Amino acid sequence: MNVEITRLASGLTVVTETMPHLESVALGVWIKSGSRNETEDEHGIAHLLEHMAFKGTARRSARDIAEEIENVGGELNAATSTETTSYYARVLRDNVPLAVDILADILTESEFDEEELRREKHVILQEIGAANDTPDDVVFDKFSEVAYRGQTLGRPILGTPDTVKGFTPGQIRNYLSRNYTTDRMFVVAAGAVDHTTFVKQVEERFARLPMTPSAPPVLEAARYIGGDVRETRDLMDAQVLLGFEGKAYHMRDFYCSQILANILGGGMSSRLFQEVRERRGLCYSVYAFHWGFSDTGIFGIHAATGGNELPTLVPVIIDELRKSSETIHQQEIDRARAQIRAQLLMGQESPAARAGQIARQMMLYGRPIPNPEMMERLEGITTERLTDLAGRLFFDTVPTLSAVGPIEQLAPLTDISTALATPGIQTKKAAG
């Protein structure tokens, strides 16, 4: 791993991985701040800021930003999540100075023009509308909302129409000055990049970033609550999410949870796919996932199926969860490790994937994690640890259920909770 790290006097961290066989560079700025860092009256502002960063600076109009990067065949984009925000580009090696200049420009010189803000609010309102028209988006938003009820972690990243309409340039600047400071920002590049040259470019162009926040960043401690949320819609299929409290990034069982999710529903050979979809034909999509955050996590199973299949589908899923707490085979662990190893190695062939991976590791662990060390962590996972984890995850915590579509035949959460707590018990709807 040819990774070099420099921490500038300003507190900004610069990280590169040189890939000499490439002609391109993926680079970006990652900020350890996202929708969780919003105050009560800022719901959706992290995402709005990401949009507004491309809408004009003191030196460039919105069109200039787009044309300059595309004139050299480059790409420019951004993304907002619950705990991070990123602005990134991909260019040929000779155009790295231009990409650094544009990224610095949009993060230090954005004007937040009133007319541009009005237009971008309209764009985001359409985005919110599109998400509300997409059942598999709605079911995940509602899932987070009930799992972390009344908390920033449970709110949709996009915000609501009312909150988005009300934002002012001053509010955007306040959020920016509180969260976009050098101690929370990482500039990362991977590909045909020289570390020393890149550091000099970053140091020069990002000199105007504030070193300390205007006020302490907001981060409300997460409290997993769980519960039930349903929305009946006249659709062809039902979207169902069953979840449990998972593990934070730094917890001992985090990697165990990733392996368990892979075994249960990580691919076509997984237990849920084989039993629910292939053998029984109860749904057209089923998978498991584990999301880790800085202080909590979520383990979930998502299925998309016809409403008439729900009475049979849910008990089968519960049965597979129970089986995972009783028996895990070494072959399944080996297969999951092989898939993770392949993903790591394949990611090394993509500068964009590597830049993103390095940035995430820097934000979470303060250093890049070499692949051999990552695999060593996975080697310590045994069948006994996995069955013990499954028992604690699925049967010792309050479940979260989210469902959208023709869900009249979906059993009450009390019946599902009873079935989880009592071996051999089926939900009432299923038994009928």
Catalytically active residues, by annotation: 50
Backbone angles phi, psi at 5, to 5 degrees: -130, 135
Alpha-carbon distances of 84 from 21, 39, 139, 363, 394, rounded to whole Å: 30, 16, 22, 9, 29
Alpha-carbon distances of 429 from 226, 300, 312, rounded to whole Å: 22, 22, 9
Residue 402 neighbours by CB under 8 Å, 6+ apart: 139, 140, 142, 143, 146, 229, 230, 240, 241, 243
What's the order of all strands across the beta sheet hosting 13-18?
Answer: 3-7, 13-18, 185-191, 24-31, 85-92, 75-80
Alpha-carbon distances of 162 from 44, 114, 115, 158, 166, rounded to whole Å: 10, 18, 18, 11, 6
3-state DSSP assignment of residue 111:
coil
> Is residue 188 within 8 Å of residue 89, measured between CB atoms?
no
3-state helix, strand, coil in the chain (%, to 5): 50, 20, 30
3-state DSSP assignment of residue 190:
strand
Dmax (CA) for the chain in angstroms is 70
